[in-house]
Structure 1
Amino acid sequence: MLAASTVLLASCAQPPRADDTAATSAAVTAAVASPDRPAAETQRDNARKPADLMLFSGIKPGDRVVDLMPGGGYFTRIFSKTVGPSGHVYAFVPEEFLKIAPKSLAAAQGIPNDAYANVTVVSQPLADLSVGAPVDAVWTSDNYHDVYGFVGAAAAAQLDAAVYRALKPGGVFIVVDHVAIAGTSDTSAHTLHRIDPETVKQQVLAAGFKLEAESDVLRNPQDPHDAPVSGPAVRGPAGQFATMIRRTGGHTDQFVLKFRKPG
């Protein structure tokens, strides 16, 4: 069942049957607990709340999932174990990011191995996202701001349209990102690696999605929203917060949005 920190906003899909929910919960639990996961990743679980986020997403055994901008594969590996051999995971590295983050493709290519044989790495332009057949879910964690801030607002809108086309009717688009001060996306996305959640909502809804639910599992009221997510700490309260995050292994204030393609 969904965590208590979830706010349902629309009834866009039939609720899962109890036996399906139990099977998904068991698969997620096993995926997070998998001994195949690198220790450096499992040590971050308290801050990243992967089980809560997975149950919120509804990703289940047998699903086809696109992990947009997978980084080192933290969630890619969890998706792989959750969907199992009857499902598939596509680690999508945008071609536009090969200049911004030159090592991103190599990092993604290091994910598939015998333990994660159902993972395929894909690199295409953002607007051309496609894996050959419709998918059940597209996920991006802490990266939407990079598209918006480093490639452009228009590119983010094109990505949303591509995600819509890539999904099955009824498929979900999960967006997790660092909260920016309201109305500051145009500057914060580039300088602080943050974005106003209202900016994301406006763009994704314009692509045809319905906002189904939000989760506050990663909210942090102590975050002043003007602290850079990465890079050298700055002076003042923002710098103190950035230092606290690094020392405690905590997390920024993050929004979690679940959009659904009607169908």
Structure 2
Amino acid sequence: MLTTINRIKCNLNLMLFGAAFCSAAAMAGTSMPSDLASLAEHPFRSAEDRARNQHRHPVETLTFFGIQPSMSVLEIWPARGWYTEILAPYLKDQGKLTIASFRVDDGTMQDDRKIFWSRISERLTQRILKHNAHFGTVEQTEFDPPGYMYLGLAQQYDMVLSFRNAHIWNEQGYLLDVFRAVFDVLKPQGVFGIVEHRASRVSEISSSAVEGYLDESYVIAVAEQAGFKLQAKSEVNANSRDTKDYPKGVYALPPTLAMGTVERARYLAIGESDRMTLKFVKATSE
């Protein structure tokens, strides 16, 4: 009789263990989805980052660029990793993500802005290492034109992505050089996806821009000079409320809000900048 009772207890324990194991497996499955929409809203991301989805449209933007989970993708200057949080888990099982971060400060940097960027890049590196279960293995390289221009091997990537960096490269005089470097590391028919603050058009041949904005036609012309072909444009990141005439340029708008408390409600109501979203291809017979 005692043996029978023990067997019943043993079987019951096995059933409970099995149920708990299956429940844990199910939770693990739901906690790490593979689709872009779920990853964009994943609780791993901060509430502030998820709130910005309404302005940055990551699912629609990445879908427009044609990203696939099996691709080898390079993200240039990911900063705090807003897009990296989505890209890394999306690619980690079948594909590969590489980030080209700002170079580490070796103690010789004099430019305060570069020191700031370096610190942000280092924090992202540490975060990726700490949260390996979410990010997976992310390759990294340093990128700081013109001295640090290495993005990878020739024809290494299926896709290269740049989110709101082009105005900085243009300001420093390296936009064409960067685009050419991107062209070299893309595979034939590879995609170069750009999102950038868009200046106001005055006419077909001119535009008006304050700090941080670039003319869309100009960006396209530079990319074509580097060898790219414009495949498509999207208005997914357009914002008609952005008048682009602020004392501190695009930085007056969220998330920077560089004007502090001055007209803060106005800038919050405008939202993030009006942005061009451009899809280029490496149209070559190589």
- Please point out which of 179, 201, 204 is paired with 2:223: 204
Identity %: 24
Shift of 1:98: 3.3
Which residue number in structure 1 is paired with residue 150 of structure 2? 129
CA contact (8 A) 1:73 1:111 kept: no
Give yes or no for the alignment of 1:73 onto 2:105: no
Which residue number in structure 2 is paired with residue 84 of structure 1? 92
| Structure of larger gyration radius | 2
- After superposition, the Cα gap between the structure-2 partners of 1:160 and 1:91, relative to the gap in structure 1 and judged at 3 Å, is same
- After superposition, the Cα gap between the structure-2 partners of 1:87 and 1:111, relative to the gap in structure 1 and judged at 3 Å, is farther
Report the Cα distance in structure 2 between the residues aligned to 1:178 and 1:81, rounded to whole angstroms.
Answer: 27
Report the Cα distance in structure 1 between the residues aligned to 2:219 and 2:230, rounded to whole angstroms.
Answer: 11
Q: Secondary structure at the match of 1:54?
A: helix
Give the 5 Å matches for 1:69-218. Answer: 69-95=77-103, 98-99=114-115, 101-112=117-128, 113-114=131-132, 115-126=134-145, 128-132=149-153, 134-149=156-171, 151-152=172-173, 155-182=174-201, 183=206, 188=209, 192-218=211-237
Q: Secondary structure at the match of 1:110?
A: helix
Which residue number in structure 1 is paired with residue 22 of structure 2? none
Report the Cα distance in structure 2 between the residues aligned to 1:226 and 1:69, rounded to whole angstroms.
Answer: 26
Which residue number in structure 1 is paired with residue 30 of structure 2? none
Partner amino acid for 1:110?
Q
Partner amino acid for 1:98?
K
- Please point out which of 48, 54, 72 is paired with 2:56: 48
RMSD of Structure 2 on Structure 1 (CA): 2.5
| Residue correspondences, number | 225
Query: Could you state the TM-score of these two structures normalised by the residue count of structure 1?
Result: 0.76
Report the Cα distance in structure 1 between the residues aligned to 2:152 and 2:96, rounded to whole angstroms.
Answer: 11
Which residue number in structure 1 is paired with residue 273 of structure 2? 252
- After superposition, the Cα gap between the structure-2 partners of 1:248 and 1:222, relative to the gap in structure 1 and judged at 3 Å, is closer
Report the Cα distance in structure 1 between the residues aligned to 2:51 and 2:78, rounded to whole angstroms.
Answer: 18
Bigger RCO (CA 8 Å, 6+ sep): 1
Shift of 1:29: 2.1
Which residue number in structure 2 is paired with residue 19 of structure 1? none
Report the Cα distance in structure 2 between the residues aligned to 1:111 and 1:89, rounded to whole angstroms.
Answer: 15
Query: Could you state the TM-score of these two structures normalised by the residue count of structure 2?
Result: 0.71
Report the Cα distance in structure 2 between the residues aligned to 1:208 and 1:158, rounded to whole angstroms.
Answer: 12
Q: Secondary structure at the match of 1:195?
A: coil
Q: Which runs of 5+ in 2 are unaligned?
A: 1-33, 104-110, 253-257
Shift of 1:74: 0.7
CA offset digits 1:86-130 (Å, max 9, x no partner) = 212112124497347342322331341311023223213446332
Shift of 1:184: 5.4
